[in-house]
């Protein structure tokens, strides 16, 4: 089978809910993700948002947020010992599954699309060990929809981050940023 046909095998990927991808990883989020979790859980943004400066992102990435003299990225809070997303339960299930970030919905798929959003290649992330099974039933339509949702949401957030970073007056605190993007 050629590699061009072979990528479709990932449509049968199925998650075994081992929880590895919710541990030891920083989950970056957008204002859209935060708003959905706030509405779904009743929690204020400050209860689950954390700003990280130790993220592996290109120097010029448009998701860097200027806070004071620091440059940070917005992510989900995590707990240490062991390091895990604050929403991951002891049973390795997501406590906000219905409202989870879009990036958690698209993970672990890595998708390449053409200009018309047609999927040209599919794979899975190698960031964490993923002991998956092969009895899944994903469709290209479903994966494409999630990918578009992710891209649209990130683009909308980038516009807000850019406006914040250009702002010349006012405080540059985390609270002010959350207010600026309508989350406080």
Interacting residues with ligand SF4 (CB under 6 A) = 15-22, 27, 76, 85, 87-88, 94, 96, 100-101, 104, 108, 128, 130-132
DSSP 87: T
Q: Which CB atom, from 127 or from 140, has the smaller least distance to ligand SF4? A: 127
| Nearest residue (CB) to ligand SF4, 1 versus 126 | 126
Of residues 46 and 70, the one with the C-beta less far from ligand SF4: 46
Minimum CB distance to ligand SF4, residue 137 (Å): 15
Q: Which two tokens stand for residue 61?
A: 């990435």
Q: Which is nearer to ligand SF4, 40 or 118 (CB)?
A: 40
Give me the phi and psi of 179, to 5 degrees please.
Answer: -65, -40
Q: Which residues contact 132 (CB under 8 A, 6 or more apart)?
A: 13, 14, 15, 16, 108, 124
CB of 35 to ligand SF4, least distance (A): 14
Q: What's the closest the beta carbon of residue 135 comes to ligand SF4, in angstroms?
A: 12
Quick one: tokens of 80?
Answer: 């240490």
Q: Which residues contact 60 (CB under 8 A, 6 or more apart)?
A: none
- How far apart are CB 171 and ligand SF4 at their closest, in Å? 29
In this structure, what token pair is assigned to residue 48? 């689950």
Give the CA diameter of the chain.
60
């Amino acid at each position: 089978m050629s590699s061009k046909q072979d990528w479709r095998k990932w449509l049968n990927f199925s998650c075994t809910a081992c929880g590895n991808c919710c541990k030891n990883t920083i989950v970056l989020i957008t204002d859209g993700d935060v708003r959905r979790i706030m509405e779904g859980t009743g929690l204020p943004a400050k209860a689950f948002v954390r700003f990280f400066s130790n993220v592996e992102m290109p120097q010029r990435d448009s998701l860097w947020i200027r806070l004071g003299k620091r440059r940070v990225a917005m992510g989900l809070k995590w707990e240490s010992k062991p390091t895990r997303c604050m929403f991951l339960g002891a049973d390795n299930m997501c406590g906000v599954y219905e409202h989870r970030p879009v990036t958690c919905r698209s993970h672990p798929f890595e998708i390449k699309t053409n200009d018309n959003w047609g999927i040209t290649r599919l794979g899975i992330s190698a960031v964490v060990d993923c002991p998956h099974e092969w009895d899944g039933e994903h469709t290209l339509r479903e994966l494409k929809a999630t990918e578009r949702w992710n891209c649209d949401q990130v683009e909308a957030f980038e516009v807000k981050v850019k406006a914040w970073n250009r702002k010349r007056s006012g405080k540059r605190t985390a609270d002010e940023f959350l207010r600026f993007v309508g989350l406080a």
